[in-house]
Amino acid sequence: MAIASVLICAMFLVSGCGSTDKGTNFNDLPSPDGKVIAHLSTSNVALHLLFGSSSPLAGDATLEKTVADFTAAAKAEGASKVRIVQSKKTALWYIFPPVSFFVTPVITNVAGDAVA
């Protein structure tokens, strides 16, 4: 039981984190949608309940929240449009069984272009 408590505490420490990476070197190549300002990749890490399919427990790694963070980052770069090229949600229910069956680390990523 002590190990489970330590694992839960460790999961809470890293939950609720989010980051956005930016790439801007397009070698002066245009996009069909206009001038690309940056390619952005936004990731959120959180703890969700029941294999990651239920509501957020600590932080929020839902697709809704990650898209909102992605578009906020694009807007901060001066974009008037975005083109989302991929999104992925990974529920790490298998990482610390049986604890992670109920309290599951979830990582969600959205990547795309910020277009002027």
pLDDT of residue 53 exceeding 80: no
Report how far residue 55's alpha carbon sits from residue 45's, in angstroms, rounded to the nearest whole number: 14
Average confidence (pLDDT) over 58-82: 94
> To the nearest whole percent, how much of the chain has pLDDT over 90?
48
pLDDT of residue 91 exceeding 90: yes
Report how far residue 32's alpha carbon sits from residue 9's, in angstroms, rounded to the nearest whole number: 47
Average confidence (pLDDT) over 87-103: 89
Q: What angle do CA 31, 84, 81 make, to 5 degrees?
A: 60
Which pLDDT tens digit goes with each residue over 3-42?
Answer: 666 666 666 666 678 899 999 998 888 788 788 899 999 9
Q: Are 59 and 48 in contact (CB under 8 A)?
A: no
Q: Are 30 and 114 in contact (CB under 8 A)?
A: no
Count CB neighbours of 83 within 10 A. Answer: 16
User: Assign residue 115 a region: left if phi > 0, alpha if psi is -120 to 50, beta otherwise?
Assistant: beta
Least confident of 24-28, 32-36, 71-75, 77-81: 32-36
- Give me the chain's average pLDDT, please: 86
User: Nearest Cα to 82, choosing from 43, 38, 46?
Assistant: 38
Report how far residue 82's alpha carbon sits from residue 111's, in angstroms, rounded to the nearest whole number: 10
Average confidence (pLDDT) over 63-76: 96
